[in-house]
Amino acid sequence: MFKKVLVANRGEIALRIIRACKEIGIDTVAIYSDVDKLSLHTKFADEAICIGPADSSKSYLNIPSILSAAELTNADAIHPGYGFLSENSDFSTICKDNNLTFIGPSSDIISVMGDKASARDTMRKLNIPIIPGSIGIVNNSEEGLEIANDLGFPVIIKASSGGGGRGMRIVNDSQDFKNAFDTAQSEAKISFNDTNVYIEKYFVSPKHIEIQIISDTHGNVYSLLDRECSVQRRHQKVLEEAPSSSISDEIRKKMSEVSVKIAKEVGYVGVGTIEYLYDSESSKFYFMEMNTRIQVEHPVTEMITNFDIVKNQILCHAGLVLPEWLSNLKPRGHSIECRINAEDPSKNFMPSPGEITSLHMPGGNGVRVDTHIYAGYKIPSNYDSMIAKIIVHASSRSEAIHKMLGVLDESVIEGVNTTIPFQKQILADSMFISGNYNTNFLNTFQYKELDNE
Ligand code: MV4
């Protein structure tokens, strides 16, 4: 078992990992940039080391600095959390070369799944249903146009090193194709230093459903069921729920089986999420991409399975054999997570950093708040604007919606603007309540600014 884990992250996920380590009995090392000196994760860890200035490239992405911190404190493992270095295959390799366990999959798997075109090719070879599209990358717009004509418009051009919506171009007809293709390639070069792009048939109104999997080092792989993540704004998930109310138990079982097959075939170790596009009309699902890290929205899965994903992720990398009861999981009730960002929804979600002057977080049966903020905390402007995740669990979706509306009403975060009013309007929206929403939901949803906000 690990004696000491260095948590190479900040904010709520750093706290989450520290809490899981405490429960196991593992000592923890926090790293922080100078603007995060007063952040809670530096307080809750057993040790805390400043690794550089605010700029992520000089701190949370600074591999030599992080490794020095691990060496100084005699850490024997590093947990990357999500974002930052969590899907950096070089970091995984460097940890291994320095006798540090990287709490994540091997660098080969990170590389394969991080290269979206090669991930598709891997799935195709495994006979996994993938979105119709190009075989591998597309080298030029002439080749691309041929593929697009065969697929039929609309199509979508995606950066192979992208993912999460970055470097995507939707093309509705052939006249726009060459320009879109050339733009996608140049954006991919700028954003990811990799011009490789691929093409897929564009699904106009899919649902975004993902399957959580966990694997130990003994070849056991289990599905921890599904999450619905279709409520996205500019490819940032806003609200997630588990299980999805849009798929039948039969589809849930099939998506789980396909996901377990993928993890087994690639020799996956640890936790991972396979993202699918789901077409409600045909009840068909298609592999879109695989994320090789813990995800922001993991708590909704923990609530419906009563299984601690982060704790077991750490234990799996320390050699734990996963329990057999995971093989016939059924969703227990319904869970919803609202991401609370320090942004002003009435000003096009402009970031709203600053000091939290007063704070009241909700509680009660089936209510969980994962946050690193406190009254007096100064939210820095250097990082992601998410300041809290409010998660509820109830015996039905309807009760979970009512419970979430209630706890959002209870919540008080003063001193900065937050997206709480936006979340309340989503939860009260008839299309959302019906469950028949898809990835276009927020494109047509109108936030109404109210005086008493
Ligand atoms: C798609 C798609 C429809 N058709 N691919 C990729 C990254 C992920 N964050 C969203 N992605 C999508 N890929 C094909 N072939 C729809 C999405 C999608 C989406 C696209 C645009 C705007 C919002 C979206 C929300 C969820 C999914």
**With 90 as the cut, is the pLDDT of residue 296 above it?**
yes
Average pLDDT, the chain: 97
Taking the centre of ligand 1 as the mean of its atom positions, its distance from the CA of residue 155, in whole angstroms, is 11
Establish if 254 belongs to a structural domain.
yes
Residue 163 CA, closest ligand 1 atom number: 7
What CATH number does residue 61 fall under? 3.40.50.20
State the distance from the centre of ligand 1 to the C-alpha of 271, rounded, in angstroms. 23
Residue identified by tokens 């799944």 is 113
309-324 average pLDDT score: 98
pLDDT for 343 equals 98
Question: To test ligand 1's pocket by mutation, which of 160, 168, 238, 442 has the most ligand atoms within 8 angstroms of CB?
Answer: 168
CB-based contacts of 4: which residues, under 8 Å, 6+ apart? 26, 27, 28, 29, 46, 73, 74, 75, 76, 77
Please name which of 275, 256, 260 lies closest in space to residue 220, comparing C-alpha atoms. Answer: 260
Is any ligand 1 atom within 6 A of the Cβ of residue 206?
yes
Query: Residue 112 falls within a domain, yes or no?
Result: no
452 confidence band (pLDDT: 50, 70, 90) = low
430-435: long-range pairs with CB below 8 Å, 24+: 432/231, 433/398, 433/401, 435/245, 435/246, 435/397
User: Are 394 and 295 contained in the same domain?
Assistant: yes
**Is 166's pLDDT higher than 90?**
no
**How far apart are the C-alpha atoms of 137 and 134, rounded to whole Å?**
7
* Number of independent structural domains in the chain: 3
Number of H helices and E strands in the chain, helices first, is: 15, 22
- Report yes or no on 123 lying in a domain: no
Query: Strand pairing partners for 388?
Result: 340, 371
Task: Point out the catalytic residue in the list 233, 293, 339, 368.
Answer: 293
Residues 142 and 280 occupy one common structural domain: no
As beta bridge partners, residue 350 has: 344
Cβ pair 36, 42 in contact under 8 A: yes
Q: Which of 129, 208, 138, 207 is nearest to 171 (CA)?
A: 138
Residue 89: its pLDDT value, please?
97
CATH at residue 349 = 3.30.470.20
Strands 4-7 and 77-79: parallel
3-class DSSP assignment, residue 6 = strand
Whether the pLDDT of residue 164 is over 90: the answer is no
Task: Extract the runs of DSSP E, i.e. beta strands, from 46-112.
Answer: 47-52, 77-79, 101-102
Amino acid 99: pLDDT: 98
Average pLDDT over residues 106-115: 96
Q: Is 394 in the pocket of ligand 1 (CB under 6 A)?
A: no
Q: Identify whether 293 is a catalytic site residue.
A: yes
Is 125 within the bounds of a domain?
Answer: no
* pLDDT tens, residue by residue, 356-369: 999 999 999 999 99
Distance 208 CA to ligand 1 centre (A): 8
Q: Does residue 40 sit in the same domain as residue 153?
A: no
Q: 6-62 pLDDT, tens per residue? A: 999 999 999 999 999 999 999 999 999 999 999 999 999 999 999 999 999 999 999
- DSSP secondary structure letters along 95-128: HHHTT-EESS--HHHHHHHHSHHHHHHHHHHTT-
User: How many whole angstroms from 93 Cα to the centroid of ligand 1?
Assistant: 31
Cα–Cα distance, 313 to 325 (Å, whole number) = 16
CA angle (357 as vertex; 356, 363 as ends), nearest 5: 70
Evaluate whether 184 touches 166 at the Cβ level (below 8 Å): no
pLDDT in tens, 254-285: 999 999 999 999 999 999 999 999 999 999 99
Domain of residue 157, residue span? 132-201
In 3-state terms, what secondary structure has residue 351? Answer: strand
Pocket test for ligand 1, best of 166, 232, 279, 441 (most atoms within 8 A of CB): 232
pLDDT grade for 167, boundaries at 50, 70 and 90: confident
How much is the pTM?
A: 0.96
404-428, pLDDT tens digit by residue? 999 999 999 999 999 999 999 999 9
Answer yes or no: is pLDDT of 445 > 90.
yes
**pLDDT one-digit tens code per residue, 152-162:** 999 999 999 99
3-state secondary structure of 303: helix
174 and 25, same structural domain?
no
* 130 has pLDDT over 80: yes
What CA–CA distance (Å, rounded) separates 337 from 238?
9
Answer yes or no: is pLDDT of 451 > 90: no
Residue 163: what pLDDT?
76
Pick the atom of ligand 1 nearest to 155's CA. Answer: 15
Ligand 1 contact via 159 beta carbon (within 6 Å): no
pLDDT for the residue numbered 453: 60
